[in-house]
Every structure is written in C-alpha cells, then in structure tokens.
Structure 1
Amino acid sequence: MSKFPNKRWDKITSNLAESFNSWVRKERHHSVIHFVHEHRNKLGTLLHKHAEEMKNWKQLVGPNIEKKLKENISRSLSMVVYPMTNKFLVKIGNANISVDLLARECTCQYW
C-alpha cells in the first residue's frame, strides 16, 4: 500500500524527483563534491538570470501573475460583496454565496 492514500501525492513526489533528476542530469554522475559545486554554480546562474528579468517588471508581480490578476478582476466585476460578521456574502446574479476567508470555507464548495 502506498504511504500516501491520495494518489495525487505520489504523482507530486514522482514529478518532483523527475524534475530534479532532469535538472541535474549531467551533474549527477560526478563525485559528491563536484556535484555540489556544479549544482551551486548552475543554481546561482539561474537565480541571477531571474533577478535580471525581474528588473524589467512593470508591476510588483511577474507578467504571468499580472495576467491572472487582470482575468480575475474582470470576472469579478459582476459580483457584489457584502461584509458580514467574520464572513462575506457574495452575490453573483441570483446566487448568494457565503465566504469565510479565515476558515477557507465557501458555500459554492469550490474550496
């Protein structure tokens, strides 16, 4: 029996291991010291590249997150939100949805 009752965890673990193995494909055949040195250099180069790319961002978030935020904002324009005690009532057309952010509960059952 799997140590993870939910099969999704097996896939996440497997994908994580596969991703790491793919990342260190060339380095993993070296000695431990050489592997750590090569991995550190490779990671440092990647982090520097990402830091340089971040300098071109126009917002505080990256372009992919900015696109998702804009999509969510445009989808939410038809919603009316009423604050209640520790919860929010969200009206979407004729539907009323109760949302509790602290408990991460919603009557829409999406959470």
Structure 2
Amino acid sequence: MFKGDDLKELFWRAARSYSVSDYNKAIVQMRELNADAAEAFIIQNPKCFCRCFLNIETKADVIVNNMAETFNGYILHYRSKHIINMLEDIMVSVMTRLVNKQNEMACKNVFVCPRIQLKLNKDKDRAFKCSVFPSSPTLFQVKNFNDVSVDLNNRTCTCRKWELTGIPCYHVCAVAGSLKMNVEELVHSCLTKEMYLKSYQFTIPPLPSEKHWPVVELPLNPPPIKIGPGRPKKNRKKDPGSSLG
C-alpha cells in the first residue's frame, strides 16, 4: 500500500531504534513524509516488533523471523518425505548439530562467543570517536553526536543497546578504554563461551529403527493420503508483508 525507498528506510529506522527518543524521531519524519503510513505503522502495535519496546531480560534485539527461516531452509530436504521419515531425519540432524556445535566451541580459546566478539570489535572501532567525562567512579557522560550517560554499576547506557543485547555499545567501549578495562568483562554472561557450552550440554538420545520398536496389540492405521495434481511444492508460501525485509 505504501511504497518508496524513503518510507521504507524510516520504517526500519523506527523498528530498529533502541531508544524511544530515536523511535519518536523516526515516526515524526514518517508523518512528515506520509501521515497515513505513520498511522498505519502505529496501528500495528509497535510494542510487539520495535526494539525500543522489547524486554531487556531477553538479551536479544531480533525483530525479524530469520531464525525460523533458517530452520525452514535447514529441513528443506526432509519436508517432502513421509511424516515419520521426515521427523526421524530432522531428529538425527538436530541431534548431530547439537554435538557438533558443542565440540566446535569447546575447541575455541575465547571468553565470549565469536560472533559476539565480532560485533564488539565493531563497537570498539567506533569508540575512538567518543569523548568520555567521568561523573563518578562508575558514572560517565559520553560525547559523540549526542551525549549519553553510562552507568557501569547498573550496566545501563542511555542508548539502551547494552541493556537490550547484553553487548557493550560503543559508548561503553569508550568508557572501558578510558579506564583501561577489558570490555569483554562487561558482556552479559549469557553470551560467554561457558554459557554456550551449558546451553548445548543437553543431547537428544538416538532412536532405534522400526525393527526394534515395541509391538502393541491395538492396530494403528495411517490416515488416507490424498495426492493433489501437479508437482508437490517445497517452498513456503510467503506472507505479502515479508518482502519488506
């Protein structure tokens, strides 16, 4: 209904804003560009999909369904099989993946997870553009394009990215640099190697073949299978709104 690159950019700017102030600024600009589009955006209940309204306890800023799409692609070759064979193949694949992921991480000599470290390194590079002014041993004002407040005791920053993701933002990286601190120590514990290994410590037990299944007296007949005309479709039917991503 509402098209245009400028409008699309403002849509994602509002959705990806970590702070309410940045979100409100994007909404104001959206209203100036297209008031109807801004109202349509607000009607969709932004508290359910905008970062600035997400619960900080989750330590995640994901607002798209990429994880579900990744899993759909992961099981693409299994979905066309009979339901029993499909479930067995998915089980074996996930069972193996859990072990492989644990073994891969166990071999790495790191404190935080590698992908988290990559994100942190980008913020470290941005931190050099900031100026840090202490207000107390744990409270700081950081100047860049906009001033923000960093509280090391409560692990908060005005930009809100640190609280939401658990990864220190570039404001926090600047503070850590001024204090000669190891900024990796400020990463939330759920993003460390230790916690990653704990997450993958639970395994899926192997399932014997049908030959070894217990025999039951009650006969179980499968439901009738109706095969439609044409070649079976493997690709998921996408929602019209999914093209926005």
Where structure 2 has 5 or more consecutive residues not aligned to the other structure, the ranges are: 1-42, 50-63, 160-245
The 1-side partners of 2:68 and 2:115 are apart by 25
- Per-residue deviation, 1:39: 0.7
Offset at 1:18?
4.2
Which residue matches 2:205?
none
Aligned equivalent of 2:143: 91
1:61 aligns with 2:115: no
- Residue 25 of structure 1 aligns to a residue whose secondary structure is coil
Q: Give the residue type in structure 2 aligned to 1:98.
A: V
Task: Return the alpha-carbon distance in structure 1 between the equivalents of residues 94 and 133 of structure 2.
Answer: 44
**Corresponding residue number in structure 2 for 1:109:** none
Say whether 1:48 aligns with 2:48: no
Partner residue of 2:131? 79
SS at match of 2:70: helix
1:91–1:97: 8 Å Cα contact kept in structure 2?
yes
State whether residues 28 and 35 of structure 1, in contact with CA within 8 Å, keep that contact through their aligned partners in structure 2: yes
Task: Report the residue type matching 1:66 in the other structure.
Answer: Q
Give secondary structure in 1 for the equivalent of 2:87: helix
> What is the aligned-residue identity percentage?
24
Aligned to 2:84: 33
Distance (whole Å) between structure 1 residues aligned to residue 67 and residue 103 of structure 2:
26
Which structure's relative contact order is higher, taking Cα pairs within 8 Å and 6+ residues apart? 2
Shift in CA distance, 38/83, structure 1 to aligned 2, threshold 3 Å: farther
Deviation at 1:100, TM superposition (A): 7.3
TM-score by length of 2: 0.31
Structure with bigger gyration radius: 2
Cα RMSD, aligned residues only: 3.9
Unaligned segments of structure 1, at least 5 residues: 107-111
TM-score by length of structure 1 reads: 0.57
Q: Structure 1 residues 51 and 81, CA, compared in 2 at 3 Å: closer, same or farther? A: farther
Change (3 A) 1:34 1:76: same
Deviations 1:12-62 (A, max 9, x none): 34x555433321122112232322221111011112111111022221223
Structure 1 residues 81 and 47 mapped into 2: Cα distance closer, same or farther (>3 Å)? farther
**Secondary structure of 1:54's aligned partner:** helix
Size of the aligned set, in residue pairs, is 99
Q: Which amino acid aligns with 1:82?
A: P
- Cα 1:105–1:74 change in 2 (3 A) is closer
